[in-house]
């Protein structure tokens, strides 16, 4: 059967599994930062704005190298890109154990870890759609559960390690885990089904004339990067993505600090980050599967609405159960949203140049540089995160509104 390997298991699912594991290890680069934030502030005498700045630099480097990683992935494939990623992240976290000056924090985390994460996320998320025509949303959803599952494990693990070994040794342990576990899985990655003598999963149905939701031109129209940049679709996606990054990174960096400020214990607060990640994983699978049936637009609306409401809920949260509820629903919506972007990009703009196109779209990660720094500054100057939370809710409602008007571009009407 077309698309099946000799063992009867489509190799695309191997790519999905490998990508899931790699992203779960890389997730520690982002989700543990909020756990270490209060430790760095207390031990080294830095303000939350100063420490948050390192995460903002991480996101700037992250965003600027996405495009490079996407293009190189189109040319050299994900194996080499992900190997570079793993080495860079491991080096960055190892150096974090030695920092004593602010510039060292920025170089170790902002540059090394930031570039490293780009060279795994962009190649993996732009490779998966090449392997799947049918069940593309589900495949991406399963892959991106790695981020949520990584957060679920890494955040409380980091707090446990800090409590028992101190933050410096904890960074070394996490670096070793990333390198030893993720590197072997990188060798399983392949850019396209043709490398295994296969065709994309479900290609027979497309060739038979089946239609996808949202008037998707998937597998029939492949926009070049130059053409994609001229479409309203790409820029609406970009705006929605930058708002998502702004809020998600703000929450992941400052949630522990916000919770401890109102009396939640450090371990419970760290667990909240992990729980957010766990439901992030649930959201990626659930929304991935649902979006294959009802379309990406409807799911975008649902996810952004859910997150916006939860940010307003956070304003009044003061007890553990209220934070748990926030983590569950916000994490679910966030995970679903992240999955939708590569899926919708592949659906509406094609997969042939997806690495390059999605790499440019991921410049929206610059929003992740703004959110944490803004929240840190607001706290340091006002003594409260309230204004930051209100801003976060507002931009999510804007993104929700954009999801109502976005649509697939018409092939012959590029603006």
**Bridge partners of residue 322, in order along the sequence:** none
Q: How confident is the model at residue 63 (pLDDT cuts 50, 70, 90)?
A: confident
- Please determine, for residue 413, whether its predicted confidence score (pLDDT) is greater than 80: no
Q: What DSSP string runs through 136-154?
A: HHHHHHHHHHHHHHHHHHH
Task: Give the best-scoring range by mean pLDDT among 48-62, 203-217, 383-397, 401-415.
Answer: 383-397
In the numeric block, which tokens belong to residue 373? 């720094």
3-state helix, strand, coil in the chain (%, to 5): 80, 0, 20
pLDDT of residue 212: 46
Q: How confident is the model at residue 129 (pLDDT cuts 50, 70, 90)?
A: confident
What are the residue boundaries of the structural domains of the chain, listed by start? Answer: 12-192+208-405
- Please determine, for residue 217, whether its predicted confidence score (pLDDT) is greater than 50: no
pLDDT of residue 50: 94
- Burial class of residue 40 in the structure, from the number of CB atoms within 10 Å of its CB (0-12 exposed, 13-18 middle, 19+ buried): buried
Distance CA 50, CA 55 (A): 10
- Span of 27-36, 253-262, 324-333 with lowest mean pLDDT: 27-36
With both helix axes pointing from N to C terminus, report the angle between 136-165 and 33-44 in degrees, rounded to the nearest 10.
30
Q: How confident is the model at residue 288 (pLDDT cuts 50, 70, 90)?
A: confident
CATH 1.20.1250.20 corresponds to the domain 12-192+208-405 = yes
Average pLDDT across the chain, whole number? 87
How far are the Cα atoms of 68, 156, 223, 282, 327 from residue 317, in angstroms, in the given order? 41, 21, 46, 23, 11
Residue among 44, 135, 78 at smallest CA distance from 347: 135
Q: How confident is the model at residue 411 (pLDDT cuts 50, 70, 90)?
A: low
- Span of 51-55, 132-136, 252-256 with lowest mean pLDDT: 132-136
In the numeric block, which tokens belong to residue 201? 């999963």
- Span of 173-182, 185-194, 268-277, 372-381 with lowest mean pLDDT: 268-277
Angle formed at CA 272 by CA 268 and CA 278, multiple of 5 degrees: 135
Task: Give the best-scoring range by mean pLDDT among 6-10, 160-164, 280-284, 353-357.
Answer: 160-164
Calculated CA dihedral for residues 317, 318, 321, 326, nearest 10 degrees: 30
Taking residues 159-174, what's their average pLDDT? 94
Distance CA 385, CA 254 (A): 9
Evaluate whether 97 touches 252 at the Cβ level (below 8 Å): no
201 phi/psi in degrees, rounded to 5: -60, 125
In the numeric block, which tokens belong to residue 181? 């576990």
């Amino acid at each position: 059967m077309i698309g099946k390997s000799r063992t009867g298991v489509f190799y695309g699912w191997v790519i999905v599994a490998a990508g899931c594991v790699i992203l779960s290890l890389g997730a520690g680069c982002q989700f543990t930062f909020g756990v270490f934030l209060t430790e760095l502030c207390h031990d080294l005498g830095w303000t939350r704005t100063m420490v948050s700045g390192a995460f903002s630099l991480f996101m700037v480097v992250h965003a600027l190298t996405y495009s490079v990683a996407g293009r190189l992935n189109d040319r050299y494939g994900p194996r080499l890109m992900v190997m570079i990623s793993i080495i860079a992240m491991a080096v960055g976290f190892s150096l974090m154990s030695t920092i004593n000056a602010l510039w060292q924090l920025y170089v170790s985390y902002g540059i090394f870890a930031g570039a490293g994460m780009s060279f795994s996320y962009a190649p993996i998320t732009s490779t998966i759609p090449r392997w799947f025509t049918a069940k593309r949303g589900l495949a991406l959803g399963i892959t991106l559960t790695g981020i949520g599952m990584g957060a679920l494990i890494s955040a409380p693990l980091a707090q446990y390690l800090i409590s028992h070994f101190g933050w410096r040794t904890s960074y070394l342990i996490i670096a070793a885990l990333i390198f030893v576990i993720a590197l072997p899985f990188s060798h399983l990655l392949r850019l396209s089904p043709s490398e295994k003598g296969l065709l994309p999963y479900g290609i027979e149905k497309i060739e038979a004339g089946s239609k996808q939701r949202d008037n998707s031109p998937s597998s029939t129209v492949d926009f070049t990067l130059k053409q994609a940049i001229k479409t309203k679709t790409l820029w609406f996606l970009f705006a929605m993505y930058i708002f998502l990054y702004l809020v998600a990174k703000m929450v992941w960096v400052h949630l522990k600090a916000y919770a401890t400020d109102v009396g939640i214990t450090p371990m419970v607060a760290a667990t909240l980050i992990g729980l957010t990640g766990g439901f992030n994983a649930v959201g990626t699978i659930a929304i991935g599967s649902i979006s294959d049936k009802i379309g990406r637009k409807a799911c975008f609306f649902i996810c952004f609405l859910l997150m916006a409401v939860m940010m307003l809920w956070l304003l009044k949260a003061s007890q553990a159960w209220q934070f748990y509820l926030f983590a569950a629903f916000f994490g679910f919506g966030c995970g679903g949203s992240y999955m939708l972007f590569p899926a919708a990009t592949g659906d509406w703009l094609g997969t042939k140049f997806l690495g390059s196109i999605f790499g440019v779209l991921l410049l929206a990660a610059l929003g992740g540089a703004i959110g944490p720094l803004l929240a840190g500054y607001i706290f340091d100057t006002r003594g409260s995160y309230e204004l930051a939370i209100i801003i976060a809710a507002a931009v999510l409602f804007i993104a929700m509104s954009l999801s109502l008007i976005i649509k697939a571009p018409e092939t012959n009407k590029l603006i």
